[in-house]
A and B are shown apart, each in its own frame.
Chain A
Amino acid sequence: MSLATETTARHAESFRVTRSRRNVAWTGAGALIIVVVLALFPYIVYSGTTAILVQAFIVLTLASMWNLLAGYAGLVSVGQQAFVGLGAYFVLILAIHGTSPFAALPVAAIGCGVAALPLWWLVSRLRTGYFAIATWVLAATVMLIIEKFSSIGGGTGMPLPGLSGLSPTLLTAYTYWAGLAVTVAALVVIYLLLRGRLGLVLTAVRDDEVAARSSGSRVGLARMLVFVVAGAGCGAAGGVLAISQLQVQPSAVFSVQWTAEMAFATIIGGLGTIEGPIIGTVVYIVLQQALASYNAWYLIILGLVAIFVALFARRGLWGLVDEHLHVRLFPVGYWLRTTGPEGRRRR
């Protein structure tokens, strides 16, 4: 045995690479229990509570998608409201033609993913800050074009048809389950994507883009995939929004406020972790409910907190938790565990 192989062999005994410090099955079981309990909510809580939770599901889906864009792919988009609005309009158009708005949700997601392709072709020509404003212009353009079609309500919008057959209780429950399903699907897709090849490419790009490119990572393709997935996710959330509002109004669904909310929730919770947007959404909903009677003050306060966090606590609230407890609910990285005195190290 040569010296090199011998050292390798010896070292192989002293460390081990794992996804998580705890058994992933336990976290999986925990997540499953939470989802089941949440799914039972329409039977146990008042409809006012489920309405707030639907709003939380929308924000959480949006924030998770924005986190995928900005936190993992480095793409700061301030035009995601384009997809929120398109998703809402996909649901509206299908409902006008007789499809159930709930059945229209997956179509809206796929439609927005497809729409993201030509939009990506346009905005991917610009980098960082100019990319950000270009997405904003795109969102404004998409809204102006939609407003030209009077058959779908023109500039004033229209109520969502196809739901009048349901009793109010049933409608509330269905809306809630639709919101929950979209959120769970979004989180599962993001988790699986980041665990796989895409996650590795994005991590490599974050560490050193030139090195990642020169070692054969298809960076452009990875970013495009992220933009498409984020478009589809925001579209699904927009569809849920249309159902929960029972109407679609262009200035409301294409409002930049959606991007502000998803960005602030993500930044406050922790950019670049799947857990961050969840924490951020909780903060968002608590603040919004507490300040409900003070108009847009919740957004101003969220914005100020987000600026503060971006400057002074860049890993957000989840970063603080992670630093002290070393917990990952969604392990997408790796732990390097050595038996030597160095203890644990993470990658």
Chain B
Amino acid sequence: MAWVNAIIQGVLIGGLYALFACGLSLMFGVMKVVNLAHGDLAVVAGYVAIGVIAVIHIPVLLSFVIVVPLMALVGYALQRTILQGALDRSVLTTLLVTFGLSVVIENGLLQFFTANSRGIGAGLALESDSFSLGSQIQIGYLPVVIFAVAVVVLLGLQYFLSRSKYGRLIRAVADDKEAAQLAGADYRHVFGIAAGIAFGTVALAGIAYGMYSQLDPTAGTDTILLFAFAAVVIGGLGSLWGTLLGGVILGVAQEIGAQINISDEVLAGFIVFLVVLAVRPQGLISRGAQS
């Protein structure tokens, strides 16, 4: 029964990992930017939420309404300035710049907020309540809600990119930015919008993580970036549903690892990642119709 429990918990936490990953995937899919500061920005969003909640005393759920658009604006601004500047130079430059940002943000957070971890109290029954399945399986409401949010975000992104007019524009720019430019699309603006959407999901992921667990300055890379990346590679580059599958596999691997030995949780996830990288580097769902 403990194993069934581990698998259920793993699937649910996989939703959070997919949420971590979709911003990373989107930025790479559209702009070919691998944002090494991805996780640190999620932590920044979490800290901003903590600050907003502390200063204006709003419920946690309302903090999303403020922080997500705020991070989307930051994303647009960052893309139009530093990231576009780096892209215009070379792919190498985007890596150097985002790695620099990652280190600067992480150490900046350490300076201002110390290494202490802090959680985002949901202040609701949601945080600690759970329901039982049978006698031994307890499922928290929060992981279920986070999983549902992840699925809704992925569905929404999928629908937006494949059906909406603006989504079509983003795909056109991602395919060939010069050709899209000739056809009248301002690709820099479109990149900015895509970055804004990606950063919105980053903010969502950061706050969700803060509610589920504890935020600290090193969580950005040690947890969020590396887990997001593992989910992307396991699932298959460029596939949104692959990302969800990758997140779920990573989550299940970690929970099973924790069942074997509590300190092996993270290692078990990375080993599954390395095995997938070794035997099926294109991921479980290879790049298909849904990119």
**Which residues of chain A come closer than 8 Å to B36, judged between CB atoms?**
78, 129, 132-133
Do residues A310 and B86 form an inter-chain contact, with CB atoms below 8 A? yes
Query: A121 to B277, alpha carbons, bound, how many Å?
Result: 10
The reply to whether the CB of A145 lies closer than 8 angstroms to some CB of chain B is yes
Looking at A43-51, A87-95, A135-143, the stretch in contact with chain B turns out to be A135-143
| Residue of B with least CB distance to A306 | B100
Closest beta carbon of chain A to B107's beta carbon, Å:
4
Q: Please indicate the chain B residues that have their CB under 8 angstroms from the CB of A307 in the complex.
A: 82, 96-97, 100-101, 104
Interface size on B, residues (CB 8 A): 41
Chain B residues with Cβ under 8 A from A225's Cβ? none
Interchain CB contact under 8 A, A76 and B95: yes
* Chain B residues positioned under 8 Å from A267 (CB to CB): 96, 100
CB-based contact B107/A311 at 8 Å: no
Task: Select which of A134, A296, A304 is within 8 A of B229 by beta carbon.
Answer: A134
In whole Å, how far is B278's beta carbon from the nearest beta carbon of chain A? 6
- Candidates B28, B91, B274; contact of A122 at CB < 8 Å: B274
The answer, yes or no, to whether A126 is at the interface (CB within 8 Å) is yes
Which residues of B from 1 to 43 have beta carbons under 8 Å from A? Answer: 28, 33-34, 36
Does B69 have its Cβ within 8 Å of any Cβ on chain A?
Answer: no
Q: Are B103 and A260 in contact (CB under 8 A)?
A: yes
- Minimum distance in angstroms from B28 CB to a CB of chain A: 7
Instruction: Determine the chain A residues whose CB is within 8 A of the CB of B116 once the complex forms.
Output: none
> Contact residue range for chain A?
35 or more
- The one of B34, B85, B270 in contact with A144, judged by C-beta atoms closer than 8 angstroms, is B270
Question: When chains A and B are docked, how far (Å) is the Cα of A144 from the Cα of B265?
Answer: 10
Given contacts A137-B229, A297-B111, contact A129 B97 (CB under 8 A): no
Q: Name the contact of A74 in the complex, choosing from B86, B92, B107, B229 (C-beta under 8 A).
A: B92
Distance in angstroms from A210 CB to nearest chain B CB is 16
B107 and A141 within 8 A (CB): no
The answer to the question of A176 belonging to the interface, with a C-beta cut-off of 8 Å to chain B, is no
Q: Which residue of A lies closest to B108 (CB)?
A: A300
Chain B residues, Cβ within 8 Å of A78:
36, 99
| Interchain CB contact (< 8 A) of A300 among B34, B107, B222, B226 | B107
A300, B106: Cα distance in complex, Å: 9
A120-165 contacts to B (CB < 8 Å): 121-123, 125-126, 128-130, 132-134, 136-138, 140-141, 144-145, 148
CA distance A300 to B217 in the complex (A): 14
**Chain A 250-267 near chain B by CB (<8 Å), digits 1 or 0:** 000000110010011001
Chain B positions within 8 Å of A23 at CB level: none
Q: Is A8 an interface residue (CB 8 A)?
A: no
User: B-facing mask of A262-303, CB < 8 A → 1, else 0?
Assistant: 011001000000000000000000000000000111011001
- A59 shortest CB reach to chain B, Å: 15
A314 CB–B CB distance under 8 Å: yes
Which residues of A lie under 8 Å from residue B222 when comparing CB positions?
A: 140
Docked Cα-Cα span, A130 to B273, in Å, equals 13
Let me know if B96 and A133 touch, CB within 8 A: no
B281 within 8 A of A: yes
Contact of B221 among A121, A136, A138, A297 (CB under 8 A): A136
Taking the complex as formed, is B89 at the interface, i.e. its CB lies under 8 A from any CB of chain A?
Answer: yes
**A296 / chain B contacts, CB cutoff of 8 Å:** 107, 110-111
Interface centre among B33, B101, B111 (most CB of A within 10 A): B111
B229 near A144 with CB under 8 A, answer: no
Query: Which residues of B are in contact with A by a Cβ distance under 8 Å?
Result: 28, 33-34, 36, 82, 85-86, 89, 91-97, 99-101, 103-104, 107-108, 110-111, 221-222, 225-226, 229-230, 233, 237, 266-267, 270-271, 273-274, 277-278, 281
Interface contacts beyond A78-B36, A129-B94, A130-B237: sample of 19 additional A-B pairs, CB < 8 Å, sorted by A: A76-B92, A76-B95, A123-B277, A129-B91, A133-B225, A256-B103, A260-B99, A264-B103, A267-B96, A267-B100, A300-B103, A300-B104, A303-B100, A303-B104, A304-B104, A310-B97, A310-B100, A311-B82, A314-B89
List 18 contacting pairs A-B, 8 Å CB cutoff, sorted by A: A78-B99, A122-B278, A126-B233, A128-B95, A132-B34, A132-B95, A133-B36, A134-B233, A136-B226, A144-B266, A144-B267, A263-B96, A264-B100, A295-B110, A300-B104, A300-B108, A310-B97, A311-B86
